[in-house]
Structure 1
Amino acid sequence: MKRPKLKKASKRVSCAKRYKIQKKVREHNRKLRKEAKKKGITKRPKKDLGVPSSAPFKEEVLREAEQRRLQIEEEKEKRKQAKKDERAQKRKKEKEGATKDPEPKAKKARKDEAQRKQKAVEKNSKHYLCSELNKVIEASDVIIEVLDARDPLGCRCPQLEETVLQKNKKLIFLLNKIDLVPKVNAEKWLQCLEKEAPVLAFKASTQIQDKTMQEKKSRITPSNCLLDRSRAAACFGQNCLSDLLTSFYTASNREGALKVGLVGFPNVGKSSVINSVKGVLACNAGVKRGITKSMQEVHILKNINLVDSPGIVALDSNPAPALALRSLRVEEGLESELQAATTLLKHCDKTQVMLLYTVPDYRNPLEFLTMFAKKRGFLQKGGVVNTDQAASAFLADWTGAKLSYHCKPPEHSPLPSYMSEASVAEMKKGWDLKKIKTANEDTLKGVKFPNPASSISFTSRGPTAGILNVSEIFAESPAVIKPAPVSIDISRSSADDAYDFNVDFK
């Protein structure tokens, strides 16, 4: 017990407690001695008997032993002295280096930082991204074009599809993010796209953990399955994709691994699809656009590899709303997130934005971003509003997997100029189309779709032109992008008390 006005508590204990402790110690030691005696273990060191007096040449043996002992001590002293000399030389060299170059580490750090920045600039350049995309196309036997289900037509690249057909590669459409569009709309897009090439419905998981951090999988019951359907961790369509590639590899009778390249515009979910099929975090993925900068091959199944690729570089001549919806100019570094959000706000109706984000009337995009930042709590030091962070969150809603919007497929969709009936038949050859259709129906049954009244409907601007050849980068002339007018119709449903937004980019 610590007594008052004393820094340390007293170590004194009562006699009864002290005697009890001593008794316990004696009993413990007695137990250890008893166990050691049973095992035949003795702690007593064996006594050195030395050289007996009756042994012949006793003096010579003792003299040799003494010489050996002295020799061992000399070797120990030599080793100690060598270590001391080595440390002294090391200190001397450090002092000489410090006098010659007072800041060698700082200079080396500056050089490394400059080289790192140069490599980052090279990886962000159009020349590097196009070369990496061409590598994926050349190395792959099958090309999967990943499309965002909210705007599949706007995610298609005619230049890419034409190049794939010219190289006699198999082309498949993968309709990702089907959980962000109404079920009827997803079914219509599947029917529309399957006229040109095989199409798969897919819903990637956005909560794949790293393999080193992945915990043991818990036993899944039917009730847990129903709960997981509404979560981002659920994935649908991965078994269909694996079975399809396995059956194609078996039917083709090829030697070596089958390489399947995933291509598409940024933020359509290429890396998330690979992570969902693999089951672990094999590729970096996130809300930020353009995370993948180079080609990456991932082993999925026996003799089947998926190849991740960077996003397709879009032409500046594309309409401004299409570029702003996908943040293509932001990821290329041609404009800031604030400029992209301003462009998108100028092409949106005030009423739509006010109802969607529950903000009062505003006069310009900057005022909207100011109110949006205050509502979300994006404040800097001193209570200053952070409009850059608000613009980033606004773009993340439209380009990420949060906001639900959809576009209607065309009623009459003729084949593109670079496709013919013969090329379509060749692309469908070797695939089990009935099996694909059945698997898509099963995927649509499992996914939880949003209410059509809460999904924004807009008219797509058509395919987005992209750059594939490196020579086109230098031949491309800077074009002035004129903002396209937008007409939005808002209707209120009395049953669901929700709003329908019809956005028409003219």
Structure 2
Amino acid sequence: MNIQWFPGHMAKTRRILAENLKMVDVVIELLDARIPVSSKNPEIDSIVRNKPKIVVLNKADLADEKVSNEWSRWYNSQGYATIFIDSLKGTGIKQLKDKMRDIMKDKFERDKQKGRIFRPIRTMIVGIPNVGKSSLINKIAGKKSAVTGDKPGVTRNKQWINVNSEIQLLDTPGILWPKFEDETVGINLAITGAIKDDIIDTVELTSILLERLSQAYPEKIKERYKIESLQDKKGYELLEEAGKRRGCIISGGEVDFTRISAIILDELRGGKIGRITLERPGDVVLAKGDEKHDHKAD
């Protein structure tokens, strides 16, 4: 399944990030806890370079807790500063604020000794579309400061938000990259909603999803879609059976594959199938030049 998407405003976003980086103390890279590999834009590290960075994994409430613990151990072994959050409920927000203060503590202490006036920590939040940047900002700020939406590309322009006397946040539009080197990356992004449904074949996408879930989470699939046996069934067959069980039938008794695909994708994204993670630490391959990020500000 070939998925490619690089609209014009993505190139503009890359320029926005690069141009505003010099004003920023700490970068928050927001990933999707269900797909930590696929939701990591490989261009971010080359843009951010040596700026202190915190890797924040959002939608942790939708991810498999056991696998998230595996990811936590993996990130620690790599020296990453990481925090798992739920930006809608606010879980992990206090921990994130504390981490920002910790990273900047030494720098502000040096500034104080030099007689420099205290200023807020300037933070840039970066990530792919629909990963929850605006929801995170609203939770950190404790108010509705940023435009949010459940469709990719809602945040179009940069905007500074004053959280309090300690923290300023720079929200930026979501940024994807020009080409997915690994087909699985594009598929994972499409499954979780980072790529708009109207530019992909949702039937093929959902067939792939069901086949993968039948291997990784068989009991969840059987329970949710009342499929008695998954043995030797391909994704398309599973999709057809789920469609029959849910009554997605058109004239002639045929399954409405478009309708059942939309239902399954919606239920996966809403956590109704259960807590699911599509990638494990064993899937990760660090990009050449990727650096560890648990360091203090210069």
Same fold (TM over 0.5): yes
Structure 1 residues 384 and 294: CA distance shift in structure 2, 3 A: farther
User: Does the 8 A contact of 2:60 with 2:85 survive in 1?
Assistant: yes
User: Aligned ranges for residues 81-480 of structure 1 at < 5 Å?
Assistant: 126-140=7-21, 141=24, 142-165=26-49, 168-181=50-63, 183-194=65-76, 195-205=78-88, 234-246=89-101, 248=103, 251-252=107-108, 253=111, 257-327=120-190, 330-331=195-196, 334-345=199-210, 349=214, 352=218, 353-354=221-222, 356-359=224-227, 369=239, 372-373=242-243, 375-376=245-246, 387-402=257-272, 403-406=274-277, 407-410=279-282, 416-419=287-290, 424=292, 428-430=295-297
Structure 1 residues 241 and 266: CA distance shift in structure 2, 3 A: same
Q: 1:377-424 deviations in whole A, cap 9, x for unaligned? A: 66899x99754343222223334444422344249x89753146xxx4
User: Does the 8 A contact of 1:176 with 1:269 survive in 2?
Assistant: yes
Q: 1:244-265 deviations in whole A, cap 9, x for unaligned? A: 3345556434775543222222
Structure 1 residues 300 and 333: CA distance shift in structure 2, 3 A: same
User: Does the 8 A contact of 2:62 with 2:271 survive in 1?
Assistant: yes
Looking at structure 1, the residues matched to 153 and 247 of structure 2 have their Cα atoms a distance apart, in angstroms, of 27
Structure 1 residues 334 and 185: CA distance shift in structure 2, 3 A: closer
Looking at structure 1, the residues matched to 166 and 58 of structure 2 have their Cα atoms a distance apart, in angstroms, of 25
Looking at structure 2, the residues matched to 416 and 338 of structure 1 have their Cα atoms a distance apart, in angstroms, of 31
Looking at structure 2, the residues matched to 390 and 414 of structure 1 have their Cα atoms a distance apart, in angstroms, of 34
Structure 1 residues 349 and 371: CA distance shift in structure 2, 3 A: closer
Select the structure with the greater relative contact order (CA < 8 A; seq sep ≥ 6). 2
Looking at structure 1, the residues matched to 214 and 86 of structure 2 have their Cα atoms a distance apart, in angstroms, of 31
Letter in 2 for 1:151: I
Structure 1 residues 337 and 392: CA distance shift in structure 2, 3 A: same
Q: 1:214-250 deviations in whole A, cap 9, x for unaligned? A: xxxxxxxxxxxxxxxxxxxx43211222233345556
Letter in 2 for 1:307: L
Displacement of 1:295: 2.8
User: Does the 8 A contact of 1:320 with 1:343 survive in 2?
Assistant: no
Structure 1 residues 364 and 174: CA distance shift in structure 2, 3 A: closer
Letter in 1 for 2:281: P
Letter in 2 for 1:190: S
SS in 2 for 1:391: helix
Looking at structure 2, the residues matched to 297 and 320 of structure 1 have their Cα atoms a distance apart, in angstroms, of 35
Unaligned 5+ segments in structure 2 are: 112-116
User: Does the 8 A contact of 2:38 with 2:189 survive in 1?
Assistant: no
Displacement of 1:131: 1.1
User: Does the 8 A contact of 2:35 with 2:188 survive in 1?
Assistant: no
Looking at structure 2, the residues matched to 415 and 387 of structure 1 have their Cα atoms a distance apart, in angstroms, of 37
User: Does the 8 A contact of 1:177 with 1:401 survive in 2?
Assistant: no
Letter in 1 for 2:165: K
Highest Rg: 1 or 2?
1
Q: 1:128-167 deviations in whole A, cap 9, x for unaligned? A: 12312431343241221112223323322332112211xx
Structure 1 residues 259 and 275: CA distance shift in structure 2, 3 A: same
Structure 1 residues 317 and 184: CA distance shift in structure 2, 3 A: closer
Displacement of 1:174: 0.8
Looking at structure 2, the residues matched to 239 and 153 of structure 1 have their Cα atoms a distance apart, in angstroms, of 25
SS in 2 for 1:292: coil
User: Does the 8 A contact of 1:202 with 1:237 survive in 2?
Assistant: yes
SS in 2 for 1:146: strand
Displacement of 1:190: 2.2
Structure 1 residues 285 and 364: CA distance shift in structure 2, 3 A: farther
SS in 2 for 1:174: strand
SS in 2 for 1:131: helix
The count of corresponding residues between Structure 1 and Structure 2 is 273
Letter in 2 for 1:428: H
Identity %: 23
What is residue 38 of structure 1 aligned with on the other side?
A: none
Structure 1 residues 343 and 315: CA distance shift in structure 2, 3 A: farther
Unaligned 5+ segments in structure 1 are: 1-123, 206-233, 432-506
Looking at structure 2, the residues matched to 378 and 279 of structure 1 have their Cα atoms a distance apart, in angstroms, of 42
Q: 1:87-137 deviations in whole A, cap 9, x for unaligned? A: xxxxxxxxxxxxxxxxxxxxxxxxxxxxxxxxxxxxx96221231243134
Q: Once superposed, what is the RMSD of the aligned Cα atoms?
A: 4.1
